[in-house]
Amino acid sequence: MTLSTPPEGRNRQWLVRANPALDELVGPEHFDLVEVPVPSPASGQVLLRTLCLGTSPAQRGYISKTKSMHEKAPLGSVMRGRGVAEVAASRHADFEPGDQVMATTGWQDYVVVTPVQQGVLSTRKLANPSLAPSLNLGILGAAGLTAYFGLSDVANLAPGNTVVISAGAGGIGSCAIQVARCLGAGRIVGIAGGRKKSAWMTDYLGATAAIDYKNENVGAALDRHCPEGIDVFFDNVGGPQLEAALERLKLGARVAICGYIATDYTDTPAGPKNYVYLVRRRARMQGFFVFDYEQEFETAGALLARWFSAGKLRPCEDITAGLENMPMTLQGLFTGANRGVSVCQVGEARVRRKV
Amino acid sequence: MTLSTPPEGRNRQWLVRANPALDELVGPEHFDLVEVPVPSPASGQVLLRTLCLGTSPAQRGYISKTKSMHEKAPLGSVMRGRGVAEVAASRHADFEPGDQVMATTGWQDYVVVTPVQQGVLSTRKLANPSLAPSLNLGILGAAGLTAYFGLSDVANLAPGNTVVISAGAGGIGSCAIQVARCLGAGRIVGIAGGRKKSAWMTDYLGATAAIDYKNENVGAALDRHCPEGIDVFFDNVGGPQLEAALERLKLGARVAICGYIATDYTDTPAGPKNYVYLVRRRARMQGFFVFDYEQEFETAGALLARWFSAGKLRPCEDITAGLENMPMTLQGLFTGANRGVSVCQVGEARVRRKV
């Protein structure tokens, strides 16, 4: 992978230029790429060099005018985002050049951070620095943790359960298929658009069956693949797929609402008109947010890492190269371009060992 | 109360005549009142004389053409319903004339039942025969139990919680306001239509505040009465009231879906279009059905009876007189005619003590 790099001593930044309209795809026209000098760390601070950046549908919400649960990124500011970075220079006793960390770097090559702010550690060293950095944004990072807490805690997945996952070839979905398998699900059905993604869900991620919503009737396919109904629906999508699943819930089923990308482009989204199935099937539907589980990240992350070492979890990151492609990488989440956890590779580790 | 009675030896029955259309109110035109001889019990059977009958929105579903979770009542059959009855004649060792029982009597004066069928006791003697029979269809019956399990088990009501109850002057709602009070809710807001019902919720049932949805904006009123948001929403209605509540949930809130009368008249009801608040507030929405808790009825019923004896629960039955008024009593549930648990008084106890 050949990566573009900024001139020596310079830092490229993507600034927020404009708010996408309600029905507008997010893209390069909403950002400005600028170049500024690399900043210097003050005492207690660290200079980070970005290695890779994560993306998430929530990031559109940072700059859209719609209500969202996340803080907005103001016009003219560096676009907010998390990523894996290498410590380039340190004036903090706990960090030294070459350390790899997870941090809120923003969409830029370099950032100065204060690792501990008001007693809170905002910049963490990677638990598994020997692995590819992108894994920490994918199956071993927030995506994998979201899948894990959504399935185990929110949906109470029990061994043998029939689990259906929408956007099963998306970032969280591709982790959820794999984590459901590790948790002992009896039957795992992934829903995605297109034959390639469908094949990837069964052949690579280990889903029992795949539904291609672009070429199949989702309800009929669910009837075929889940003849006894659904115990757990892990939803990233909303809309008609959620409705199709609700009608096929088993008694006592659980619906974990992780996302609702199908409703992101409208001010008056259609709610699940058949939510009365929650009564008919004595089922529950529950929303969650992975950072509510922050206290348990270390334990759960270690479990994911053990599954990974044992070969039960596979890398499922979809890596784009180059900071200049960040806006299109984000757009891809809304056009179905990515397969797996969308990550943008920005730089390569330079410092191989302790200085 | 003067009650119409059938001629000696005759039994009046309401038979299902027609299925109401999707958008049609249920009413007398869907039933035929006929008169047949009083049946005789065979060995192991009991002849019951109906004292009072309960009503429920679910009964419209028994005869409508829409999908519902309940078994349908076929055209020409006696309309199904539960009530309190007196044993008029017994050929079963465990029952004797004068015993008061809860049974699936149907809409008629007399019925012969087999109290134990396939090992299941379908006809139960009242735990509190000294109380007015109608209480067993109201605050001490299925309505009170529905409120109790919905609030305590489904919604995990904790002392101090802010609880909002839609259709708070309806059958289940009027019980829920009272039960929420007994469970230690900090603030109880009932929603109902009209000033009379609103006053009844606060002055008689003990709600902290009432919202009259016919004369107030529900959202603005919720903001005023629940400035810190809602912990528990007990929903009997669906539609815009559910949406108003969803937007005002606290973090970790619980929505117990008991009914959805607002959506009963349409084939394509509007789902809660802002269900994404379940994610924003990490909240859950769960449906339930009181008969799933049948194993716990005795314990919970005894608790309700203790609260009643202690004066913490009040009768909240709305009693109509006369079997001939049964169809209009059912209709009243959909026009807002009733205040409290709608019960139809059909007969009066005759046998005062053991024969």
Tell me the pLDDT tens digit for each residue of A311-333.
999 999 999 999 999 999 999 99
Contact list in A for residue B263 (CB cut-off 8 A) is 276
Check if A259 contacts B (Cβ < 8 Å).
yes
Asked if residue B98 and residue B151 are part of one domain, the reply reads no
Residues 96-135 of A with CB under 8 A from B: none
Residue B301 lies in a domain: no
Check if B265 contacts A (Cβ < 8 Å).
no
Scanning every residue of chain B, which has its alpha carbon at the shortest distance from the alpha carbon of A261?
B276
Asked if residue A266 and residue A149 are part of one domain, the reply reads yes
Distance separating alpha carbons of residues A153 and A138, to the nearest angstrom = 20
**pTM of the full structure:** 0.88
Asked if residue B279 and residue B146 are part of one domain, the reply reads yes
Contact list in A for residue B275 (CB cut-off 8 A) is 238, 257, 271-272, 275, 285
Question: Position A261: which residue type?
Answer: I
Residue B179 lies in a domain: yes
Residue in this structure with the two tokens 């409120």, named with its chain if needed: B147
Check if B93 contacts A (Cβ < 8 Å).
no
Q: What is the pLDDT along chain A (355 residues), one digit of tens a residue?
A: 678 899 999 999 999 999 998 888 999 999 999 999 999 999 999 999 999 999 998 899 999 987 777 789 999 999 999 999 999 999 999 999 999 999 999 999 999 999 887 766 778 899 888 899 999 999 999 999 999 999 999 999 999 999 999 999 999 999 999 999 999 999 999 999 999 999 999 999 999 999 999 999 999 999 999 999 999 999 999 999 999 999 999 999 999 999 887 765 555 567 888 888 898 899 999 999 998 999 999 999 999 999 999 999 999 999 999 999 999 999 999 998 899 999 999 999 887 644 3
Instruction: Supply the range of the domain harboring residue B258.
Output: 142-291
Asked if residue B227 and residue B161 are part of one domain, the reply reads yes
Distance separating alpha carbons of residues A115 and A120, to the nearest angstrom = 8
**CB distance A276–B286 less than 8 Å?**
no
Contact A193, A337 (CB under 8 A): no
Residue A3 lies in a domain: no
Contact B97, B90 (CB under 8 A): yes
- Identify the H or E element spanning B240: helix B239-246
Residue B306 lies in a domain: no
Give one DSSP letter per residue of B284-349, joined into a string: EEEE--GGGGGGGHHHHHHHHHHHHHTTSS---EEEEE-GGGHHHHHHHHHHT--SSEEEEE----
Chain centroid, CA A26 distance in Å: 17
**CB distance B282–A279 less than 8 Å?**
no
Asked if residue A184 and residue A98 are part of one domain, the reply reads no
Residue B216 lies in a domain: yes
Asked if residue B208 and residue B194 are part of one domain, the reply reads yes
Per-residue confidence (pLDDT) for residue A2, from 0 to 100: 77
Nearest to B242 by CA among B227, B223, B224, B262: B262
Q: Which residues lie below 8 Å from residue A231, measured CB to CB, with a gap of 6+?
A: A157, A158, A161, A162, A163, A250, A252, A253, A254
Q: Which residues lie below 8 Å from residue B285, measured CB to CB, with a gap of 6+?
A: A275, A278, A284, A285, A286, B254, B255, B257, B275, B278
Contact B92, B117 (CB under 8 A): no
Number of domains in chain A: 2
**CB distance B280–A238 less than 8 Å?**
no
Distance separating alpha carbons of residues B288 and B164, to the nearest angstrom = 17
Check if B209 contacts A (Cβ < 8 Å).
no
Per-residue confidence (pLDDT) for residue A340, from 0 to 100: 97
How many residues are given for chain B? 355
Asked if residue A230 and residue A131 are part of one domain, the reply reads no
Phi-psi region of A158 (alpha: psi -120 to 50; beta: other; left: phi over 0): beta
Q: Coil, helix or strand for A188?
A: strand
Per-residue confidence (pLDDT) for residue B266, from 0 to 100: 57
Contact list in A for residue B243 (CB cut-off 8 A) is 271
Asked if residue B177 and residue B82 are part of one domain, the reply reads no
Asked if residue A337 and residue A236 are part of one domain, the reply reads no
Task: Give the nearest partner residue to B273 out of A270, A285, A286, using CB atoms.
Answer: A270
Residue B297 lies in a domain: no
Distance separating alpha carbons of residues B242 and B273, to the nearest angstrom = 10
Q: Residue B57 is part of a domain; what is its CATH number?
A: 3.90.180.10
Distance separating alpha carbons of residues A261 and A239, to the nearest angstrom = 9
Asked if residue A245 and residue A325 are part of one domain, the reply reads no
**CB distance B273–A271 less than 8 Å?**
yes
Asked if residue B147 and residue B134 are part of one domain, the reply reads no
Mean pLDDT, consecutive 10-residue stretches, chain B (355 aa), reads 87 97 91 97 96 93 82 94 96 95 96 84 85 95 97 98 97 97 98 97 98 97 98 95 95 94 63 86 94 93 96 97 96 92 94 52
Check if A267 contacts B (Cβ < 8 Å).
no
Residue B165 lies in a domain: yes
Query: Where in chain B does DSSP place strands (E)?
Result: 10-16, 31-37, 46-54, 83-90, 100-103, 110-113, 116-117, 120-121, 124-125, 162-165, 187-192, 209-212, 230-235, 249-257, 284-287, 317-321, 341-345
Residues 20-49 of B with CB under 8 A from A: none
Per-position b or e across A29-61, b if 16+ CB within 10 A of its CB? ebbebeeeebeebeeebbbbbbbbbbbbbebbb
Asked if residue B272 and residue B147 are part of one domain, the reply reads yes
Q: Residue A218 is part of a domain; what is its CATH number?
A: 3.40.50.720
Distance separating alpha carbons of residues B58 and B174, to the nearest angstrom = 18
Q: Which residues lie below 8 Å from residue A42, measured CB to CB, with a gap of 6+?
A: A91, A112
Check if B69 contacts A (Cβ < 8 Å).
yes
* Residue B81 token pair: 């319903």
Residues 281-300 of B with CB under 8 A from A: 281-289, 292
Residue B351 lies in a domain: no
Distance separating alpha carbons of residues A173 and A142, to the nearest angstrom = 12
Per-position b or e across B49-71, b if 16+ CB within 10 A of its CB? bbbbbbbbbebbbbbbeeebeee
Per-residue confidence (pLDDT) for residue A1, from 0 to 100: 63
Strands A341-345, A46-54: parallel, antiparallel or unpaired by DSSP? antiparallel
- Residue A119's φ and ψ, nearest 5 degrees, are 80, -5
Task: Give the nearest partner residue to A271 out of B275, B279, B280, using CB atoms.
Answer: B275
